[in-house]
Amino acid sequence: MNKRLLLIDGHSMAYRAFHALPIENFRTASGQHTNAIYGFATMLLALLASEKPTHVAVAFDVSRKTFRSEIFPQYKAKRVATPDEFRSQMSYLHELVTAFGISSFEIEGYEADDILGTIAKRAEREGAEVLICTGDRDSFQLINEQTTVLYPKRGVSDLARMTPDAVVEKYGMTPAQYPDFAALRGDPSDNLPSVPGVGEKTAAKWIVEYGSLKELIAHADKVAGRVGQSLRDSMDHIILNSELTQLVCDVPIDFTIDKLAWVGVDQQKTNPLFEILEFKTLKERMKPILLKSETALRSEPEFMLFAEEMSEGVLTPTEIDTKIAQHTGAFALSYSLVDEKLHRYAVAFSPTDIFLVHSSKMGDWATNYEVKKIMHDAKALSRINPVVGVDFDTSLAAYLLNPGTRSLELTDIQERWGDGSAINTSTPEQELLTSARALLSLRDPLTKELEVRGVFDLYKSMELPIAELLAQMERVGVAVNKKELEKLRGFFEGEVSRETKLAHESAGREFNVGSPKQLQVVLFDELKLPKTKKIKTGYTTDAESLDWLHQKTGHPLLTHLLRIRETKKLSTTVDGLICEIAPDGRIHTHFGQSVTATGRLSSIGPNLQNIPVRTEEGRTIRNAFIAGKGYVGLLTADYSQIEMRIMAHLSNDEKLLAAFESGEDLHATIASVIFGVKPQDVDSEMRRQIKAMSYGLAYGLSSYGLSAQLDITPVEAQGLMDTYFQRFGGIRDYLKTVVDEARKVGYTETIMGRRRYLPDLMSDNRQRREVAERMALNAPIQGSAADVIKLAMLQVQRAIDSEKMKSRLLLQIHDELIVEVVAGEEEHITILVKREMGAAYPLRAPLNVSAGLGLTWNEAAH
């Protein structure tokens, strides 16, 4: 039997798993974190199934004290301390490896890669094929015709096969030359200094040109220029780097290759371990692999066989239409886009019944609600090619289960929730086929978890239909007046030019107004203005600092600098809009449904939520947004004080509810209660202070933050807050309760049950804990506002459809909806939108909607 040895750097790969999987989603009822263990286990099982090794071993680091740190005490000294959440998982990782029937090694004074190198070299001498799975690039020096390094590109599931050819292709040198290259390049993560001014390209060029570091050092005097001198000046640490990056391949380990033979996983050990770690779904999904039988572990998964024979599974659009018509039940649909156009797609009816379609054409089934589809990020396709009847969307499900996640890639979701099989990314075709299969396997476990966490109804009734509506809105886009935008751009550019000349006159000389360094010289050295906040490069010159300086000194230069920054920002906004105008004369923004942790929608390409509205010039940009051909105007409708109304609803504060019921100016009414005066006696300053505090409290505003906003002392601010809470005890009690409850259960909830997980509420780090506490205050209110506007959008669209109106919903910006209005429907659509938005959710402080009509977005403002 040919020996195939799999070696794994346990610490390296577990640490990558720790950072790849969100820690807040992997914790047992007793509080034990498990993300590193889970990620490592799924990676291990995927490797065992795909690589089919005959022998396996795992190496771990013992500590950071090795022979390298004795030679160079600063070795790895700048690395952050290992997180406690990771360290607490290490003993379980060792148990896991043992339960999998795998030998493990750790030797005091050596690193895991030294151990792997030692085992690899002995295995090579015995004629074995060696695979080394590690995230340490120093291992590239071990690569040869017998040894391949499996290097993680992303997470722990996407591995690059680093062969001798792959190293040459990536670095332009052989694996044997790699440690010489690494010595020149240095490594910040190991605290190994680089040669100043020498990057990877120059380092690679020298090694290739001279053949080795030894030869380069011997001919260092021939290397010309500043980099040559830098090389000669750095000779001592280059030689030290070379010694430290060279792996030791004769570590004193007592082993034989035969003792590393792997005979399978022992379920009598894994089952109780999985019970302790609460890996219930993982245990079920891995049954085909968790058998103490070489035969079962050596068998190729059926879907991989199919992927390799995929030419037999390629169908024409007509053929796939026929198969879909004959199929009952939902099927999985994966797709690939090229230049925002459908390129090809795959359809999976079962794990072995998967077909590839090399076409951008989809039949009537795509727009048939009765034909149910399982997809990942259906909106991205539907904004280009309409797709309805999406019965399950894995990206939205994963988002609701972990709204704070940084990645919703299908590969990551499959790694966390799938059946143990990896998505094959070796070719675009295989990625589509295996993605379609993964979609089938993900629906049940994700559905179960959504139900367990009480968010399945939110998923089905809100997030899925909202995705379809957003795709429709993105396809339609919003019409813009390009000439108006170009006119504005010319005006703003002219203002920048004019103000720059005035700034030069005020300074007494020309300088680059966009250079912080030159600005510091002018402001602080030449004009002797008061110093701002100290930073590494001198003193800060950001907008906030310049505004502070302007208020303090009134210097005319600062007036011009602030004006330059204001108009540059407006000019940049206009430029961005012009670039995004499509051939149809409309802008088709992308609404981000799964970007914010609170559930609010975002907007990119361009960001229409970022158009300034507080200044007259900012509002003029909205004049460029118009009704398109066949429409007579735009309707805008928004909620009045929705977050304060939600605060009143959640806190059930009698005085705040009464303030809303009075129908008077809310902030003046609250101010009258706080200051003990009649509403008519509340002046503008009183109202401003109360408005700032009312909104700020929901965001965890401190007395210091309030004092900065209101330009009063922290003591005065604290007194104001104390009085506020005395008068509005319901708000005080609610804000305290919401944090306490979140700390107890680990999450907050909105009025619709949307959760935000906040594990840092239990952090020992005060700063992280306080940030989480502010999030706990804000998430239920901002998230509930997001729920309300989404409900409103769905109800407005359903009413438009049921009443067969031709006006259409275009945009959702914060708490505002924008509708393109057809002639003759102006009054009807206004009534409809106000009615449906007002009835979106029965708050104790009823929703209040205002609306306006106009030829442009700005004119429609109210």
Closest by CA to 501, choosing from 557, 570, 543, is 557
Q: What is the CATH number of the domain that holds 532?
A: 1.20.1060.10
Output the pLDDT for position 303: 37
Phi-psi region of 585 (alpha: psi -120 to 50; beta: other; left: phi over 0): left
pLDDT tier for residue 306 given thresholds of 50, 70 and 90: very low
Dihedral sign, Cα of residue 477, residue 478, residue 482, residue 487: negative
Q: Rounded to an integer, what distance in angstroms lies between the CA atom of residue 303 and that of residue 437?
A: 8
Dihedral sign, Cα of residue 262, residue 263, residue 265, residue 268: negative
Whether residue 385 lies inside any domain: the answer is yes
Helix, strand, coil distribution of the chain in percent, nearest 5 = 55, 15, 30
Q: Using an 8 Å Cβ cutoff, are 329 and 432 in contact?
A: no
Please check whether residues 466 and 504 belong to one and the same domain: no
Taking only the tens place, the pLDDT of each residue in 238-282 is 777 677 778 888 888 888 888 899 888 877 788 788 888 888 766
Output the pLDDT for position 252: 85
Mean local confidence (pLDDT), 283-309: 43
pTM for this model (two decimals): 0.68
b or e along 704-723 (b: 16 or more beta carbons within 10 Å of the residue's beta carbon)? eebbeebeeeeeebeebbee
Please check whether residues 390 and 441 belong to one and the same domain: yes
Mean pLDDT of the residues in the chain = 87
Whether residue 603 lies inside any domain: the answer is no
Q: What is the CATH number of the domain that holds 774?
A: 1.10.150.20
Output the pLDDT for position 171: 83
Q: Is the pLDDT of residue 180 over 90?
A: no
Dihedral sign, Cα of residue 657, residue 661, residue 667, residue 669: negative
Q: Is the pLDDT of residue 802 over 90?
A: yes
Q: Mapping DSSP to helix (H, G, I), strand (E, B) and coil, where does residue 747 land?
A: strand
End-to-end Cα distance, the chain = 80
Whether residue 220 lies inside any domain: the answer is no
Whether residue 755 lies inside any domain: the answer is yes
b or e along 100-115 (b: 16 or more beta carbons within 10 Å of the residue's beta carbon)? bbbbbbbbebbbbbbb
Q: Write down which residue in 535, 561, 594 finishes a domain.
A: 594
Retrieve residue 139's tokens. Answer: 């291992």
Mean local confidence (pLDDT), 215-229: 77
Output the pLDDT for position 188: 62
Q: Write down which residue in 764, 781, 798 finishes a domain.
A: 781
Taking only the tens place, the pLDDT of each residue in 705-750 is 888 788 888 898 899 889 989 999 999 999 999 999 999 999 999 9
Backbone φ and ψ of 842, nearest 5°: -80, 80
Higher pLDDT, 675 or 839: 839
Percent of the chain topping pLDDT 70: 92
Cβ-in-10-Å burial (0-12, 13-18, 19+) of 178 comes to buried
Please check whether residues 542 and 685 belong to one and the same domain: no
Please check whether residues 51 and 113 belong to one and the same domain: yes
Output the pLDDT for position 307: 39
Radius of gyration of the CA atoms of the chain, in A:
32
Output the pLDDT for position 73: 65
Q: What is the DSSP string of 657-677?
A: HHHHHT-S-HHHHHHHHHHTS
Mean local confidence (pLDDT), 690-700: 82
Instruction: Give the contacts of 382 (CB within 8 A, at least 6 positions apart).
Output: 388, 390, 467, 468, 471, 472, 475
Please check whether residues 459 and 568 belong to one and the same domain: no
Q: What is the CATH number of the domain that holds 324?
A: 3.30.420.10
Q: Write down which residue in 594, 611, 630 finishes a domain.
A: 594
Q: Using an 8 Å Cβ cutoff, are 820 and 623 in contact?
A: no
Instruction: Give the contacts of 409 (CB within 8 A, at least 6 positions apart).
Output: 154
Dihedral sign, Cα of residue 220, residue 226, residue 229, residue 231: negative
Please check whether residues 415 and 483 belong to one and the same domain: no
Taking only the tens place, the pLDDT of each residue in 18-63 is 888 878 778 887 778 898 998 898 888 888 888 889 999 999 988 7
Q: What is the CATH number of the domain that holds 19?
A: 3.40.50.1010
Closest by CA to 589, choosing from 609, 572, 619, is 609
Total Cβ atoms within 10 A of residue 266: 14
pLDDT tier for residue 309 given thresholds of 50, 70 and 90: very low
Whether residue 332 lies inside any domain: the answer is yes
Output the pLDDT for position 199: 73
Please check whether residues 432 and 463 belong to one and the same domain: yes
Total Cβ atoms within 10 A of residue 221: 9
Whether residue 131 lies inside any domain: the answer is yes
Output the pLDDT for position 42: 84
Taking only the tens place, the pLDDT of each residue in 466-490 is 999 999 999 999 999 999 999 999 9
Taking only the tens place, the pLDDT of each residue in 238-247 is 777 677 778 8
Output the pLDDT for position 282: 66
Q: 62 is in which domain, residue-wise?
A: 4-164+248-260
Mean local confidence (pLDDT), 530-550: 86
Closest by CA to 142, choosing from 166, 113, 111, is 113
Taking only the tens place, the pLDDT of each residue in 570-595 is 998 999 899 899 999 999 999 999 98
Strand partners, 581: 587
Retrieve residue 34's tokens. Answer: 């498990």
Mean local confidence (pLDDT), 779-804: 97
Q: Rounded to an integer, what distance in angstroms lies between the CA atom of residue 65 and that of residue 76?
A: 10
Please check whether residues 69 and 109 belong to one and the same domain: yes
Q: Is the pLDDT of residue 134 over 80?
A: yes
Instruction: Give the residue carrying structure tokens 């090619």.
Output: 385
Please check whether residues 417 and 517 belong to one and the same domain: no
Whether residue 577 lies inside any domain: the answer is yes
Total Cβ atoms within 10 A of residue 394: 25
Whether residue 61 lies inside any domain: the answer is yes
Please check whether residues 436 and 539 belong to one and the same domain: no
pLDDT tier for residue 527 given thresholds of 50, 70 and 90: very high
Mean local confidence (pLDDT), 113-120: 91
Instruction: Give the contacts of 352 (CB within 8 A, at least 6 positions apart).
Output: 302, 303, 306
Mean local confidence (pLDDT), 158-170: 86
Please check whether residues 518 and 663 belong to one and the same domain: no
Please check whether residues 487 and 417 belong to one and the same domain: no
Strand partners, 623: none
Number of compact structural domains in the chain: 4
